[in-house]
Amino acid sequence: MAVALYTPSGKPSVAQIARLARILPLLSPRFLLSAAAWVARSGAYARALSAFKPGCHLLFIASAVDGKGYGSEALEMVEKSCADEGGLWVTLEVDGGNPALLFYAKRGYKPVAAALYAGSTYVLMSKKLRAIR
C-alpha cells in the first residue's frame, strides 16, 4: 500500500480539500512544519518551479513496503491524474541524500534546481507528461 499527495494544476475542488483534510491528521508535526517551510522558498527557487506550468507538484509518496511496486503505482496514478487535469509537468523535491532521488530518476524525473534548507540540500525534479490525445 502506498499513499501519494500532490497539488493539482488548477484550483482544488471541494472533494480534493476534503481528502486532504482526512490525510492531514495522519502526518507528523515535523513533516507539516517542513512542508510549511517550503511555502517560503527563495525567489530563484520559486521562479524555477514556476517554469513548469501547467503542472502538479508532488508533496510525497509513502509506501508501507519497499520493493513491491506500490510507490511506482502511486506515482503513475499521480501522473495520470495530473495529465487528466490538464497538467503538462509533475514537479517534486527530494532531499539530496534520500534514496528516493534514484527512484524518481529511474522513472524519468530530471533535476532542475537545488535549494539549501535547514542544512540539507533539496533537489527540485521535474517530468514532462505526454499530451493527452
Does residue 56 sit within a domain? yes
Question: pLDDT by residue (tens digit) across 105-118?
Answer: 999 999 998 877 77
108 burial level (CB within 10 Å; 0-12, 13-18, 19+): middle
Q: What local confidence, expressed as pLDDT, does residue 1 receive?
A: 40
pLDDT at 89 over 90: yes
Does residue 120 sit within a domain? yes
- The domain containing residue 38 runs over which residues? 2-128
What single DSSP character describes residue 8? -
Q: Which one is predicted more confidently, 42 or 122? A: 122
Report how far residue 48's alpha carbon sits from residue 44's, in angstroms, rounded to the nearest whole number.
6
On whether the CB atoms of residues 60 and 38 are closer than 8 A, the answer is: no
Q: Which of 44-58, 82-96, 116-130 has the highest mean pLDDT?
A: 82-96
Does residue 47 sit within a domain? yes
Domain CATH number, residue 45: 3.40.630.30
Q: Which one is predicted more confidently, 86 or 65? A: 86
Report how far residue 77's alpha carbon sits from residue 98's, in angstroms, rounded to the nearest whole number.
22
Q: Which residues pair with 24 in a beta bridge?
A: none
Does residue 133 sit within a domain? no
Please count the structural domains in the chain.
Answer: 1
Question: pLDDT by residue (tens digit) across 55-64?
Answer: 888 877 777 6
Cell of 126: 521535474
